[in-house]
Amino acid sequence: MSELRLRTDLDAVPEYRQGKGAPAGEGAVMIKLSSNENPYPPLASVSQAVAGRLDRFNRYPETAAPELTTALSERFSVDAANFVFGAGSVEIISQLIRATSGEGDEVLFAWRSFEAYPMLVRAAGATPVEVPLTTEHAHDLDAMLAAITPRTRLILVCNPNNPTGTTIGADELKSFISRVPSHIVVVVDEAYLHFNRRQDSPVGVELFRRFPNVAVAHTFSKAYGLAGLRVGYAIAPAHLAAAMRKVAVPFGVTGLAQAAAVASLAAEAELQERVDALIAERERVVGALTLAGWRLPETQANFLWFPLGGDTAAAVEVFEEFGVLVRGFGGEGLRATIAETEGNDRVLLAAAALVERGLTGGLTDAQA
Ligand X SMILES: Cc1ncc(COP(=O)(O)O)c(C=O)c1O
Among 69, 164, 221, 254, binds ligand X (CB under 6 A): 221
Minimum CB distance to ligand X smaller for 194 or for 360: 194
Compute CA distances 200 → 70, 169, 218, 235, 252, whole Å: 29, 6, 20, 22, 35
The reply on whether position 191 binds ligand X by CB under 6 A is yes
Stretch that binds ligand X, among 64-72, 73-81, 86-94, 323-331 (CB under 6 A): 86-94
Stretch that binds ligand X, among 4-12, 85-93, 252-260, 315-323 (CB under 6 A): 85-93
The DSSP code sequence of 28-65 is ---EE-SS----SPPPHHHHHHHHTTTT-TTSPPPTT-
Preceding omega of 41 cis (within 30 degrees of 0): no
Among 30, 33, 34, 36, binds ligand X (CB under 6 A): 36
Phi, psi of 324 (to 5 degrees): -130, 135
CB 104 within 8 A of CB 151: yes
Our measurement of the distance from residue 33's CA atom to the centroid of its chain's CA atoms, rounded to an integer in Å, reads 14
Minimum CB distance to ligand X smaller for 84 or for 90: 90
Among 39, 61, 88, 225, binds ligand X (CB under 6 A): 88
CB 53 within 8 A of CB 60: no
The reply on whether position 227 binds ligand X by CB under 6 A is yes
Minimum CB distance to ligand X smaller for 132 or for 228: 228
Phi, psi of 192 (to 5 degrees): -110, 20
Q: Cβ 138 to ligand X, closest distance in Å?
A: 14
Compute CA distances 55 → 59, 60, 68, 259, 262, whole Å: 10, 12, 20, 13, 18
CB 184 within 8 A of CB 215: no
The reply on whether position 252 binds ligand X by CB under 6 A is no
Q: Cβ 35 to ligand X, closest distance in Å?
A: 7
Q: Cβ 158 to ligand X, closest distance in Å?
A: 5
Site string for ligand X, 134-173 (x = CB under 6 A): ------------------------x---x-----------
φ/ψ bin of 349: left (φ > 0), alpha (ψ from -120 to 50), beta (otherwise): alpha
Q: Cβ 282 to ligand X, closest distance in Å?
A: 16
Q: Cβ 38 to ligand X, closest distance in Å?
A: 11
Closest chain position to ligand X (CB): 88
Q: Which one-letter DSSP state was computed for residue 187?
A: E
Minimum CB distance to ligand X smaller for 247 or for 366: 247
Residues pairing with 108 in the sheet: 129, 155
The DSSP code sequence of 188-230 is EE-TTGGG---TT---HHHHHHH-TTEEEEEESSSTT--TTT-
Stretch that binds ligand X, among 84-92, 96-104, 171-179, 308-316 (CB under 6 A): 84-92
Among 61, 128, 232, 307, binds ligand X (CB under 6 A): 232
Our measurement of the distance from residue 120's CA atom to the centroid of its chain's CA atoms, rounded to an integer in Å, reads 14
Among 82, 127, 166, 219, binds ligand X (CB under 6 A): 219
Minimum CB distance to ligand X smaller for 36 or for 166: 36
| Strand residues in 54-161 grouped as ranges (E) | 83-86, 106-111, 127-132, 152-158
Q: Cβ 149 to ligand X, closest distance in Å?
A: 24
Binding site for ligand X (CB under 6 A): 36, 88-90, 114, 158, 162, 189, 191, 219, 221, 227, 232
